[in-house]
Amino acid sequence: MSRKYFVKFVSEPRNDTIKTIVGVACAARAISEGHEVSVFFAAAGTRLLEPAYIEELNKEMGEDSTVVSDMMGTITENATLYCSFASVKATLGHSEGDGALIVPDDKIKWSGPPGVIELSSASEVQLVY
């Protein structure tokens, strides 16, 4: 039975890299099990959209590991992605349209607190990291 999952990355991933990797793994697993997954990147959680940080997480899993990149690929290719543009600017210093994220801007639904409220109320399961 397919369920609606809402996964929100909002905490500073550098404060607990293993928790962050677990969150990425849970989102990817929900997708692979056929669930409808919406992922919202807000505040410092937008760091997960930065290619260099994903490489740091890969190395956390092993010198030549690509496991985090692979899971993020599953997420970016199959989940509905939401992000706070203001958070990207504040956390990463990137502007919309400069192509600095792991996913093109046009594959992200730019939103803020109204989107979080809408997604959380429409979902059956919420995971927050």
What is the domain-level CATH number for residue 14? 3.40.1260.10
As a whole number, mean pLDDT of residues 123-129 equals 98
The angle subtended at Cα 25 by Cα 22 and Cα 27, nearest 5°, is: 110
In the chain, the DSSP E strands lie at 4-9, 36-41, 80-83, 108-110, 125-128
Give the per-residue pLDDT at 96.
Answer: 83
User: Terminal CA-to-CA distance of the chain, rounded, Å?
Assistant: 24
DSSP 65: -
Expressed as residue numbers, the domain containing 105 is 4-128
Higher pLDDT, 27 or 98: 27
Predicted confidence (pLDDT) at residue 120 exceeds the cutoff of 90:
yes
Answer for the pair 72, 27: CB distance below 8 angstroms, yes or no: no
pTM of the predicted model as reported, rounded to 2 decimal places:
0.94
Total domains in the fold of the chain:
1
pLDDT in tens, 81-98: 999 999 999 999 998 889
